[in-house]
Structure 1
């Protein structure tokens, strides 16, 4: 499913900042103080974090000064019930950020708890230094990270604004993990058919899609719930986590599948044109835990010029497992300039939309 490259609305936390900069950690940050994940071996320079995982943490900086180097430690080991975090998982987490400016002085800067929107972290895109306090810990664990602030001279040399003083702190609560090969747990009650393609229950494996012989494709979008989930309905602008396989109606050949990439779940924001229209229209309102067959006509897929762009042409058929859906973090609201009126604000928002429409597309068969 081709989608446009989605820009982060905000560098939501120090963890995300480090991850999205090619997962590179400056050499001077790599110190022996980056400890193994053992709660009774936390570095004494870390702030004290208390409170129940699943609620906003309470962070006490005491009379400690920012250490000026990267530190981290496990605050609380979750119950997990055997669901240990793996290094290639997709994690659903809550993150609360602080700016640690001086001895005993810190201010909360962002909180996914307050925003009402968890964050999805791709473990495989994170460096080993960031993953090591998370890997092999149970779901429900809490980890605290400290990152040194950027050098002002370095920021100036790179043409960046002057950085905030002190270190940044992120408290990360792991709510859920999505792993390679995950599928919806429910029982498949239909294989499709009746003039539409069929897809028998494939268990934990890659779905098979069979196109009916001597049958014209439908002219409108068709959806079939092969498995009806019992989770909440997928809502517009949510981040959705799926496994999928897609085939062409014309020849039945699979052209794209998460299973062909190791069964790594795919994520996208629904209703924001990050995927083809047939996905946005066909998956919105479906329940989490559902396996849905989508039969998407050409005009809701890649259009008549699909072949010219290297995309699959004609009517397309997908089998999609909806593993999860979470609210997206709202973008920060910029403070209006002096004298700005509502009309000016409307012009700015329209300009932002036009800029988004010019985003580069990210290939990869999607």
Structure 2
């Protein structure tokens, strides 16, 4: 059922990327761009999908009953210039879903929610995808189009899906995914970084695709939020309410009893897997919200955040750091969130007695 829930409720976000982390991945981390379409023919049970990758597809359903097993395939290959999708990547994908109801018959499901309409591609963490959904994507290049067909749900699956509030199609489900971008472990923004941006601010040393070393000066911290670019990005500015895709490391300004400014949180401690979060909406500390909105994608930022914009001066016992904090953040991408459902429509669709 978990597999079905993923397939039937693909989340939507959107992306405005002008910097590709793929281009900054070391050559020895890339998978050779072997293309599979020349070796394997497309399964005839897949609907025919036409149109440019990244634009809304035209789907023609075969003149046959939908298959009673899962079928998937790559119907269009990307150019292979950005490396291939790995099984631990964060992937950006456009998507649309369809119901295949019978021979030659089908229609789009919730067309207003398709990313081609909302401008909100999906962010897919490959490690969290069920194997059968992830397999067709692995080793495919950016710019590829993948099609899945999942047979109609069993009665048990239908009951479970409906209990979760999902709208369940009567026929088979067809999912079209366009691979628009990818972020691999260890991705960083390109460019020559400055190590120092002021004698009273921390210095930063970062060797390629590795966690930055932050040296905090033995001075009083700034009283106000400071945001200094170590690398100036060339992308569009991050907007309030978008998701940002980042690498980051944070240390406290005040040293510990042994005189060290130990890292308290870092995406690098998770193997360098990029972190994504909504910015400017209270999902993270206020210093991040204020510091990143308006910054160009592709920037590496040194942010010094005072306590009132972080976790405060008092130990809450929750394990959060106190005092002024220092972050080094690479803004790899900026991604629009999908439009929120209308509360009135949601209320109208809620069955009477739900939750009682």
Counterpart mapping for 1:250-329 below 5 A: 250-251=254-255, 252-329=261-338
Q: Compared with structure 1, are the counterparts of its residues 308 and 204 closer, same or farther at alpha carbon in structure 2 (3 Å cutoff)? A: same
Cα distance in 2 for partners of 1:262, 1:185 equals 19
Q: Paired residue for 1:246?
A: 250
Cα distance in 2 for partners of 1:112, 1:247 equals 38
Shift of the alpha carbon at 1:298?
1.0
Cα distance in 2 for partners of 1:157, 1:78 equals 37
Shift of the alpha carbon at 1:315?
0.9
Shift of the alpha carbon at 1:101?
2.2
Residues 37 and 132 in structure 1, CA contact (< 8 A), matched pair in contact too: no
SS at match of 1:174: strand
Q: 1:16 aligns with which of 7, 10, 15?
A: 10
Q: Compared with structure 1, are the counterparts of its residues 146 and 60 closer, same or farther at alpha carbon in structure 2 (3 Å cutoff)? A: same
Shift of the alpha carbon at 1:187?
1.6
Shift of the alpha carbon at 1:135?
0.9
Q: TM-score, normalised by structure 1?
A: 0.79
Counterpart mapping for 1:29-40 below 5 A: 38=37, 40=40
Q: TM-score, normalised by structure 2?
A: 0.81
Cα distance in 2 for partners of 1:245, 1:118 equals 27
Shift of the alpha carbon at 1:305?
4.3
Q: 2:149 aligns with which of 146, 157, 162?
A: 146
Cα distance in 2 for partners of 1:285, 1:183 equals 19
Structure 2, unpaired ranges of 5+: 12-34, 256-260, 349-356
Q: Paired residue for 2:87?
A: 87
Residues 305 and 326 in structure 2, CA contact (< 8 A), matched pair in contact too: yes
Q: Paired residue for 1:54?
A: 54
Cα distance in 2 for partners of 1:174, 1:157 equals 30
Cα distance in 2 for partners of 1:307, 1:277 equals 17
Residue 330 (str. 1) matches residue 335 (str. 2): no
Residue 134 (str. 1) matches residue 169 (str. 2): no
Structure 1, unpaired ranges of 5+: 1-10, 18-35, 341-366
Residues 14 and 147 in structure 1, CA contact (< 8 A), matched pair in contact too: no
Residue 206 (str. 1) matches residue 211 (str. 2): yes
Residues 50 and 59 in structure 1, CA contact (< 8 A), matched pair in contact too: yes
Shift of the alpha carbon at 1:37?
5.7
Residues 249 and 329 in structure 2, CA contact (< 8 A), matched pair in contact too: yes
Q: 1:164 aligns with which of 162, 169, 189?
A: 169
Shift of the alpha carbon at 1:163?
2.8
Cα distance in 1 for partners of 2:54, 2:67 equals 27
SS at match of 1:254: coil
Residue 177 (str. 1) matches residue 211 (str. 2): no
Residues 70 and 147 in structure 1, CA contact (< 8 A), matched pair in contact too: yes
Residues 13 and 95 in structure 1, CA contact (< 8 A), matched pair in contact too: no
Q: Paired residue for 2:227?
A: 223
SS at match of 1:199: strand
Residue 233 (str. 1) matches residue 237 (str. 2): yes
Shift of the alpha carbon at 1:62?
3.5
Q: Paired residue for 2:67?
A: 67
Cα distance in 2 for partners of 1:188, 1:47 equals 48
Cα distance in 1 for partners of 2:228, 2:221 equals 15
Cα distance in 2 for partners of 1:86, 1:253 equals 32
Deviations 1:94-146 (A, max 9, x none): 01111222222211124101111111100111122112111111111110011
